[in-house]
Amino acid sequence: MPSEKFYVLPQLPYGYGDLTPYMSEEQLRIHHTIHHQAYVNGANAILKRLEEARKGNLDIDVKAALKELSFNIGGHVLHSTFWGNLAPPEKGGGKPGGRLADIIEKEFGSFERFRKEFTQAAVSVEGSGWAALAFCRILGRPLIMQIEKHNLNIYPAFPIIMVLDVFEHAYYIDYKNRRVDFVEAFWNIVNWDEVGKRLEALLG
């Protein structure tokens, strides 16, 4: 029998105005309640369409449906990850600590070098997409990843511990077309505690 479970928009772990001045209340509210909600709705609509086709033994363009499903699920998962790795300025920003800091230092040589490479990855995403810090469990190494749209250029099965949304809808109200300024502002509201917890969950 088909599952009755569908995706839901997660609540934010802070208020809509809590990321100011780096992200305005209007920017965050629209991003969360309109753009993220659209991916949730899109994914659920495709799941329902697939269920109805299976119930009625109807033909469906599987290739198109799965491509659309991948895009919407990717948008939902990445946004959910993004909200969690942000924090109000009084709690976020600065530098990571613990094993996260050690692993970044070992891989990149310094936090400053990591920040430079991650920033360049975010700024240079072609069109719309994301910069991500992923972890390769095969090598035991963190890797920076550029994601186009929500589902292209992904390292398969590499868990993501930090992401930055560089779709224009993530910053246009506050920064217009100045993606560089938005990426710079991001470093003031990174929730390093949450990113560190995600890493610890992988390392055990």
Domain range summary for the chain, segments of one domain joined by +: 25-84, 98-203
Listed in sequence order, the residues at least 6 apart from 171 whose beta carbon sits closer than 8 Å to its beta carbon are 23, 27, 178, 179, 182
- Candidates 107, 123, 133, 129; CA nearest to 190 is 133
pLDDT in tens, 63-116: 999 999 999 999 999 999 999 999 999 999 999 999 999 999 999 999 999 999
- Residue 1 pLDDT grade (very low, low, confident, very high; cuts 50, 70, 90): very low
- Residue 3 pLDDT grade (very low, low, confident, very high; cuts 50, 70, 90): low
pLDDT in tens, 105-156: 999 999 999 999 999 999 999 999 999 999 999 999 999 999 999 999 999 9
Provide the CATH topology of domain 98-203: minor pseudopilin epsh fold (3.55.40)
Provide the CATH topology of domain 25-84: Helix Hairpins (1.10.287)
pLDDT: is 59 or 87 the higher one?
Answer: 87
Is 159:134 a contact under the CB 8 Å cutoff?
yes
